[in-house]
Structure 1
């Protein structure tokens, strides 16, 4: 099955070959952005000069049908790479600028009011790092079809969810607590103004451990069509009562859909909240059937076969998502793996600002509090590099508090422990994600 991104344009040296045979999917998967840009320039020149009828026909077969000979704009897939000392999976720009980066990802200045706080006790994490390309992920189950792929030349792995009636779920999360968060990244391809208004990806929380709906459930549906601003749909079902929530929430996430959106979901007992990137779209106080839900499931539907694709990665389920401010004040110390960094670097991912904002609020409320910020990594890489990286990440958190929120730098000290103080097994993605953490200690 072909699961690679079919580039809208092929490198010009392959055009003649394209007339006679189907291009191998794995080969296309490895076409880098450099080749893609070169191909775009080649096609533009050939369209402009219309050198021959045969060339024009070849180009027409490559360009989007119905485009009138003009290539429809499409986000080139991006990926931050597969370094294991990373959390999340979106490219972003300078951590202290207020501008939008070249990839379209907003910086932490924009996220400075983002109020999502991820859970601090990780229950499940999967970036498919241990899965082979072309296989279905080992830690998931499905009654449909899907496989792990890479995009361009990046080692970051994604799971393609094949449209239809298939359900994708995680057997390794046997019970969901009262309060938890779910995060993941979405990548789309081929979405345009002809994509169905009913095309999209849904997340379902259910009491059924397998493929059925369940007597108790709640769901959110993210549309991916581009010709209109389609609602985000929310539903629930309670045994004996039926659906108490079934509504479309007005939203326009079309741009986000094309730019690798980060999805954040918080469940606090009956309350259900959903963010797309930094914006909160759903906040329903009484939607979740409390103490009933056990499973996290995904489903995609109404995509055009072979043209439109949806991928996910970096799925994280974590218990908590509660107010860290009270814990820091009462206990004098908190540890969180919810502050995310770019692969192998100290650049803070923008979606981490909810936690940093809460730390700022503690410091703002009590001027006598000083904090020590301590970074930790997993065991991948050398001891020396991990020690250096952990200190740089702690310094980045301090810099965000100082430059974004105006905290006096004299109230903050930094340190790093590298991989020397693990709290979980470094031989699994879950364990590594737990070990990549930041501590705040009252001084």
Structure 2
């Protein structure tokens, strides 16, 4: 009986890890030079030789205030797409294909050149947008580094948008990255009613190659009314009070990569997720008496909480302290497992 209980407990722990863990921020230790991503030839991308990206640990995330959205509106990880092919329902005027990457689970969209547009999906007024990106730039090269642009917009005619990058959009938000030898410059532009609402100065990200090169960078955007915040991993690059167009109807994303030298695909993306904006934790706890989140993430195969969870944990802690709330934490994955074992008459 005791062994059965231990076995059930172990299986429950495995389920918690498998369902609760997301892909960690990682750097691929390929056989090439630093920053070189090795693609796999088979559909399996599981492998060794993976370490945490950059220097970011729990300490550096202590002021990380990003909170994931509550209701997912759109998600894409390319799992349904064929390796070596362009993903279904997406659009491009350049060169892109679905691949796997050595040392990383799942599939990635390799962007070599041109514009790539997502399927359309209505954005909530207040939204959270996230995606993972691998910046794969050659460390030693005499060539000019390619630049990267990401944009969200509305009412876009994809045929016109793909044929002419200067196509005017009514409302849009975009940021562009220019890469230098050891740093990167990021600029943000917003349009409202086809006029420029804001164009920022360059935000310099020092030691970009050391902290982000060759590894998975988690990009997060949070729009709350007109306020816009953007993070690269734990680093908040922008916090702008008047950037988001009023009464926007965003419904599409654009990823742009300038053409790079053959053999050096510069960018990969995956795990794109659009969700409704930051939940009101206080009202959830006070009025409904409960709060459910998928924002607390664990390292794969471990009970260690991932640093990117610090934002939601801080929000929960503040709501509890400010309102003197007593809480009970329930792991729904474990509860689901125990429910199933009871049906099978396995001692819990």
| TM-score > 0.5, shorter chain as reference | yes
Deviations for 1:89-130, whole angstroms, at most 9, x for unmatched residues? xx77xxxxxxxx5x5463334323210111101011122222
SS at match of 1:296: strand
Q: Quick one: structure 1 residues 207 and 116, their matched pair in 2 at CA, closer, same or farther if it must change by over 3 Å?
A: same
The yes-or-no answer on 1:177 pairing with 2:177 is no
Contact 1:142–1:166 at 8 Å: present in 2 too?
yes
Q: Quick one: structure 1 residues 304 and 269, their matched pair in 2 at CA, closer, same or farther if it must change by over 3 Å?
A: farther
For structure 2, the residue ranges without an aligned partner over 5 or more in a row are 1-27, 162-166, 341-348
1:221 positional shift: 1.6
Computing the radius of gyration from Cα coordinates, the structure with the larger value is 1
1:190 positional shift: 3.4
Match 1:355 to one of 288, 312, 327: 312
SS at match of 1:131: coil
SS at match of 1:290: coil
For structure 1, the residue ranges without an aligned partner over 5 or more in a row are 1-32, 41-71, 84-90, 93-100, 377-389, 392-415, 422-443
- What are the within-5 Å matches in structure 2 for residues 26-425 of structure 1? 72-74=33-35, 101=52, 104=54, 106-152=56-102, 154-163=104-113, 165-171=114-120, 173=121, 175-194=122-141, 199-211=146-158, 212=161, 213=167, 214-223=169-178, 225-239=179-193, 241-242=195-196, 244-252=198-206, 253-258=208-213, 259-292=215-248, 293-343=250-300, 346-367=303-324, 369-376=325-332, 390-391=333-334, 416-418=335-337
Q: Quick one: structure 1 residues 74 and 362, their matched pair in 2 at CA, closer, same or farther if it must change by over 3 Å?
A: same
1:329 positional shift: 3.0
Q: Quick one: structure 1 residues 108 and 195, their matched pair in 2 at CA, closer, same or farther if it must change by over 3 Å?
A: farther
SS at match of 1:166: strand
Q: Quick one: structure 1 residues 340 and 206, their matched pair in 2 at CA, closer, same or farther if it must change by over 3 Å?
A: same
Give the structure 1 partner of residue 10 of structure 2: none
SS at match of 1:134: coil
Q: Quick one: structure 1 residues 419 and 310, their matched pair in 2 at CA, closer, same or farther if it must change by over 3 Å?
A: farther
CA distance in 2 between counterparts of 1:82 and 1:74 reads 18
Q: CA RMSD in A?
A: 3.1
1:264 positional shift: 0.8
Q: Quick one: structure 1 residues 104 and 257, their matched pair in 2 at CA, closer, same or farther if it must change by over 3 Å?
A: closer
Deviations for 1:275-301, whole angstroms, at most 9, x for unmatched residues? 011111101111121222222221112
CA distance in 2 between counterparts of 1:204 and 1:360 reads 34
CA distance in 1 between counterparts of 2:133 and 2:194 reads 35
Q: Quick one: structure 1 residues 301 and 280, their matched pair in 2 at CA, closer, same or farther if it must change by over 3 Å?
A: same
Q: Quick one: structure 1 residues 329 and 304, their matched pair in 2 at CA, closer, same or farther if it must change by over 3 Å?
A: farther
Deviations for 1:203-239, whole angstroms, at most 9, x for unmatched residues? 211113443242221101233x341433211012223
SS at match of 2:245: coil
- TM, length-normalised to structure 2: 0.74
How many aligned positions are there? Answer: 296
SS at match of 1:199: coil
CA distance in 2 between counterparts of 1:114 and 1:78 reads 32
Higher strand share: 2
Contact 1:194–1:227 at 8 Å: present in 2 too?
no
Deviations for 1:311-352, whole angstroms, at most 9, x for unmatched residues? 011111101224424432333211122223344654432212
CA distance in 2 between counterparts of 1:325 and 1:196 reads 52
